[in-house]
Structure 1
Amino acid sequence: MKMKKKSVSEWVKAGDPWVWLNAGAVAISVIMVVGLLLLIAVRGLGHFWPADVVEAHYALPGQPAYNIVAERVESVEVPATQLREAGIAIPDEHQLMLRTLMKTGNRDVYGADFRWVVDEYLTETKRPEMLFTAERYEWGNLYGYLQAVKENGQVVSATADLDPTASALATWQVFEQSIERAARIHEEIKVIEKNDIGKINYGLERIRLKQRSLELKGELTPAAEADLAVERSQYDEEYQGLQQSLIDLYEQINRDTFTVQVMDGSVHEIAVAKIVHAYRANAMGVPEKIGFYFVKLWEFLTDEPREANTEGGVFPAIFGTVMMVLLMTVLVTPFGVVAAVYLREYASQGWLTRIIRIAVNNLAGVPSIVYGVFGLGFFVYFLGSGIDQAFFPEALPSPTFGTGGLMWASVTLALLTLPVVIVATEEGLARIPRNVREGSLALGATKAETLWRVVLPMASPAIMTGVILAVARAAGEVAPLMLVGVVKLAPSLPLDGNYPFIHLDQKFMHLGFHIYDVGFQSPNVEAARPLVYATALLLVIVIALLNLSAVTIRNHLREKYKSLEM
């Protein structure tokens, strides 16, 4: 039996064009999102790959020739007229020229670690295996040839003219051992400075605040002052021991130096303690590069930032983002649920309730910076200052809660996302059949018991939907956080081993603000650009993981109470 073909008018009336239009729009949106994520991933994750270092002869027309040692970053085609306007004598027959951005490193020697070159004038390009890259705590990457390794000023290994290859490899092994030794000492110094001395400083500050508190109360007796002096002397004695240990460690770590020849032929002596990693990318095979790649990726996830946030890791920002979102979720969920329950179950459904609902819906559209200004004015300046005067008078004039911090940032974002949770919870409560409530009441349960044991469990998937939307919005917000607690650099985490363990008054780092700072406030834009992509990808992953956790809980609750809705 033949199917009757639809005419165009029937096809339009059936709504098929709109189905295809919606499907096309969804497909385009998915492609754009996937394409954006792929762009971010390629640009960001490629930064950690150990790129080969080239050595070439560079001679622009009319300018002195020189050797260049660098990594290739990116290449673009530019009009030849643009280069002529820059003073480069390009022949008239050229219309387009390939221009490459080279990372030359050695910023302490050259003043800048990136430069553009015209590919046509790069000659004698080679990749020597002994050319090495060194990542430093300061001044960025170092590129050059290792000449010698010294201990206390005495050469222990050097590259010999008679047998350069064997002696260079032997010197490189000694250099790697020196770097490993310096790294171990760095860790010991870090433990002492951040953990041991940090605890002592925290204890001394508590003694100072206790003494000031007794002074304000008029209870600072000679006996109390003597007890405080004994405690202080114990901390001072412990501090002196740690200080001596630090002096010894710094003497050990500054023992080793090395000399390196850079691309202009000059030789420089540098302390091994300034090196984070050193590797010969040109001599590494694919398995070695993959292993080094994951080492760098792990360092990015677990280390602290350095070099104005353009090097190192972002762990403090990851920790601050996750902790702030969790605190915000703990704050917003009960208040949002209570407000929704009151509006749906208890409030009389009159004009006042309708106005409140309209106000709640409108609050969801208020720009986030407005919440930031409100948080700064009310929470920080008014409420925080009141808390300081009432509970922390001994710390004044230094503010405790009268300044931006983790707590006020979480509270501000909880206020920002509160309308989302209220609306989602109300919709969930409205979908619960009336006969379920009536059945519970008929069995003798009170209204409160019905809400607690029947209604709220059945509405929990909707509540979790509101929490998911709140987390998705709060995790990516930056504008209000700039006013209520986030800072450029805060390597000390708001969670440590010092009482009260969670320091809600402490400022913190955030992935969103880190992206803004690195991308728009960095003095070295070219070096910071790959980290912008990498951090943006990491923020997306963190938000996705938080949302997936909430979605998993919601789906479990939905399956659990599905039978009650039928």
Structure 2
Amino acid sequence: MGKWFKSGSPWIWMTSGAVSICLLSVLGLLLLIAAKGLSYFWPDNIYEWQLKDEQGQQYSLIGEIYDSENVPTERLIAAGREFAEDTGQTVTRYLIKTGNREFVDLDFRWILASDIISRSQPKDIAVIERNKNGDFFGFPIAVLENGTRLSGGNLSQLLQQHIGRAVKLNEQAQALQKSEIGSINYQLEKLRLKERGYELDNALTSERKEDIAQQKAQLDAEYQLLEARFFDLRKQAARDALIIKDMRGKEVILPLDSILGITYANQLSFIDKVGHWFTGIGKFISQDPREANTEGGVFPAIFGTVFMVLLMAVIVTPFGVVAAIYLHEYAKKGLVTKLIRIAVINLAGVPSIVYGVFGLGFFVYMLGGSIDALFYPEALPAPTFGSPGVLWSALTLAILTLPVVIVSTEEGLSRIPSSVRQGSLALGATQAETLWRIIIPMASPAIMTGLILAVARAAGEVAPLMLVGVVKLAPTLPVDMNFPFVHLDRKFMHLGFHIYDVGFQSPNVEAARPLVYATSFLLVSVIVGLNLTAIGVRNHLREKYRSLEH
């Protein structure tokens, strides 16, 4: 036994066991997040309950089972609940999602199993997905087509046709508003700033003023035509309506322009539910958020996260590589160089919120304010670059991740034998040529390793971004079809901040909970995707320049 301990085998097994436990814990956490998040898109069965309240009166409830738990009977009795008969030591209670926010106080409610008289799954009950006020549960009765009631034939097929028509018209109206109408508004704002710039320079001549007025008149005329077309599309989308009976037994009229889709969940087969599940995931990834981020998709957050990380990578890589090359290849080995290396290593331990405060003070207020004063005086006092934006977020995270890139690149440079440098110099190459053609290609895998670590940290950071650019809801993306096409001064959405906002700032906690899991899993997937891409590039470079090492 003593020899076994002296050989070091116990410590090897202990380390292996600890690593295995860590890997299993991480994998288990990811599986939990994936299960909680992806199950949100699975269409559950819809039930109709017949219940009785404490006074013995009966009422109906329609919804889906969201959660269930066993509650001690004593706790319920202590809370003032009375039971007519013995229910045992525990009572099962169900959390029901009822929707229909216009007619109920809360779209989630708890019901006790002891209050249930009967439960059924009607085949003709439908889930109406809407663009506001959440889902609506009920029994479709008829379609109002331009005021005419249609209820004969296949009602389900009739509904799908009319809802598809309304959704298509709404999409056309939204596309018109975002593209052509948005472009005209952008041009009008540019003309206003141009005129203001001429006024500040005392160069607003009558000819320029008349030319700007003509351009404005032409844009206004185009705007009026597009606006008329927009309202016509909205009017056509609002032409029809759905008559549906809710759980109160009353008929409710829902305009079709507010409906996104209809699902008869109790009629779906397993294959249909799988297709509905994939469709829900696709909508979650591709659509914009709505209802205070508790419904809809997260596409702007995905785009903002990836765009900001890529911009950060473009900024941090050259600066980190140049700094590492200088420290390793050019700087003299002395006290100053050691202090710089110590400072770089210590910077990696600075709290990220400190970088956010620095970015807000230096980049936004000082640098951005100076840029506005020099290049955008006509827009003042409204800031252009003197306000948090995606550029300042990328620069802040570039500084935050710079030590990682420097250290990784230096380690890669130190692994290159000095004989390679001496051989290149002996053949007549300059030091710069040796670096560019030999050293940097051989160190490129280490550079990519530093970039991978930088991307992994930057993609998950939230605290500094809250100060320098990220917002709850960004009306426009940093990239559009208006010149110069990439707008680095705009604010953006981020998956990490979206998780914080939905999880801790949402007014509807129960509705937001599954979205927190789904968005968390999506953020992990985005980070893994970015890292796998960088790892693939690193492996390619490693194979490409392997011959130089020999």
Q: Which piece of structure 1 moves more, 336-345 or 73-82?
A: 73-82
**Which digits, 9 at most, give the CA deviation of each residue in 1:192-234, with x for residues without a partner?**
1110100000110111111111111111110111111111111
Letter in 1 for 2:240: D
**Which digits, 9 at most, give the CA deviation of each residue in 1:278-307, with x for residues without a partner?**
111001112222222211111101000011
Letter in 2 for 1:263: M
Q: What does residue 57 of structure 2 align with?
A: 64
- Alignment check: 8 A CA contact 1:304 1:491 kept: no
How many percent of aligned residue pairs carry the same amino acid? 56
Q: What does residue 529 of structure 1 align with?
A: 513
Distance 1:84 1:24 in 2: 49
Q: Give the drift of 1:152.
A: 2.9
Is residue 492 from structure 1 mapped to residue 486 from structure 2 by the alignment?
no
**Secondary structure of the equivalent of 2:482?**
coil
Distance 2:206 2:315 in 1: 45
**Secondary structure of the equivalent of 2:244?**
strand
**Which digits, 9 at most, give the CA deviation of each residue in 1:160-197, with x for residues without a partner?**
xxxxxxx5x62332222110110110011011111010
Q: What does residue 427 of structure 2 align with?
A: 443
**Secondary structure of the equivalent of 1:268?**
strand
Q: Give the drift of 1:119.
A: 2.2
Distance 1:137 1:107 in 2: 13
Letter in 2 for 1:440: S
Q: Flag structure 1 segments of 5+ consecutive residues without an equivalent.
A: 1-7, 159-166
**Secondary structure of the equivalent of 2:132?**
coil
Letter in 2 for 1:46: S
Letter in 1 for 2:389: G
Distance 1:416 1:508 in 2: 19
Is residue 299 from structure 1 mapped to residue 292 from structure 2 by the alignment?
no
Q: Which residue, 23, 39, 48 being the options, matches 1:46? A: 39
What does 1:270-289 correspond to in 2, within 5 Å? Answer: 270-289=254-273
Is residue 240 from structure 1 mapped to residue 224 from structure 2 by the alignment?
yes
Distance 2:87 2:187 in 1: 75
Q: What does residue 138 of structure 2 align with?
A: 144
Q: Give the drift of 1:85.
A: 2.8
- Alignment check: 8 A CA contact 2:47 2:62 kept: yes
Q: What does residue 407 of structure 1 align with?
A: 391
What does 1:359-438 correspond to in 2, within 5 Å? Answer: 359-438=343-422
- Alignment check: 8 A CA contact 2:87 2:114 kept: no
Letter in 2 for 1:214: Y
Q: What does residue 7 of structure 2 align with?
A: 14
Distance 2:478 2:216 in 1: 25
**Which digits, 9 at most, give the CA deviation of each residue in 1:326-357, with x for residues without a partner?**
00000000000111111111111101110111
Q: What does residue 110 of structure 1 align with?
A: 104
Sort the Cα spacing of 1:444 and 1:224 in 2 relative to 1 into closer, same or farther, 3 A. same
Q: Which piece of structure 1 moves more, 250-259 or 418-427?
A: 250-259
**Secondary structure of the equivalent of 1:189?**
helix
**Which digits, 9 at most, give the CA deviation of each residue in 1:467-504, with x for residues without a partner?**
00000000000000000000001141111110010000
Distance 2:131 2:87 in 1: 46
Q: Which residue, 23, 26, 36 being the options, matches 2:19? A: 26
Q: Which piece of structure 1 moves more, 484-493 or 403-412?
A: 484-493
Q: What does residue 119 of structure 2 align with?
A: 125
- Alignment check: 8 A CA contact 1:60 1:88 kept: no
Q: Which piece of structure 1 moves more, 338-347 or 172-181?
A: 172-181
Distance 1:63 1:39 in 2: 41
Q: What does residue 163 of structure 1 align with?
A: none
Distance 2:355 2:75 in 1: 47
Q: What does residue 531 of structure 2 align with?
A: 547
Q: Give the drift of 1:93.
A: 5.7
Q: Which piece of structure 1 moves more, 217-226 or 282-291?
A: 282-291
Q: Give the drift of 1:265.
A: 1.7
**Secondary structure of the equivalent of 1:105?**
coil
Letter in 1 for 2:98: T
- Alignment check: 8 A CA contact 2:477 2:492 kept: yes
Q: Give the drift of 1:463.
A: 0.6
Distance 1:85 1:107 in 2: 31
**Secondary structure of the equivalent of 1:108?**
coil
Q: What does residue 268 of structure 1 align with?
A: 252
Distance 2:411 2:122 in 1: 67
Q: Give the drift of 1:60.
A: 4.4
Q: Give the drift of 1:563.
A: 2.7
Distance 1:302 1:556 in 2: 31
Distance 1:406 1:213 in 2: 26
Q: What does residue 455 of structure 2 align with?
A: 471
Sort the Cα spacing of 1:461 and 1:233 in 2 relative to 1 into closer, same or farther, 3 A. same
Distance 1:536 1:422 in 2: 30
Q: Which piece of structure 1 moves more, 15-24 or 400-409?
A: 15-24
Distance 2:319 2:346 in 1: 18
Is residue 340 from structure 1 mapped to residue 324 from structure 2 by the alignment?
yes
Distance 2:78 2:134 in 1: 31
- Alignment check: 8 A CA contact 2:462 2:497 kept: yes
Q: Which residue, 73, 76, 85 being the options, matches 2:78? A: 85
Provide TM-score, normalisation by structure 2: 0.98
Letter in 2 for 1:427: E
Distance 2:31 2:425 in 1: 55
Letter in 2 for 1:501: F
Q: Give the drift of 1:61.
A: 4.5
Is residue 213 from structure 1 mapped to residue 197 from structure 2 by the alignment?
yes
**Secondary structure of the equivalent of 2:66?**
strand
**Secondary structure of the equivalent of 1:538?**
helix
Provide TM-score, normalisation by structure 1: 0.95
Q: Give the drift of 1:257.
A: 1.2
**Which digits, 9 at most, give the CA deviation of each residue in 1:417-439, with x for residues without a partner?**
00000011111111110100000
Distance 2:314 2:107 in 1: 46
Distance 1:174 1:434 in 2: 78
Q: Flag structure 2 segments of 5+ consecutive residues without an equivalent.
A: none
What does 1:193-212 correspond to in 2, within 5 Å? Answer: 193-212=177-196
- Alignment check: 8 A CA contact 1:62 1:89 kept: no
The alignment of Structure 1 onto Structure 2 pairs a total of residues equal to 549
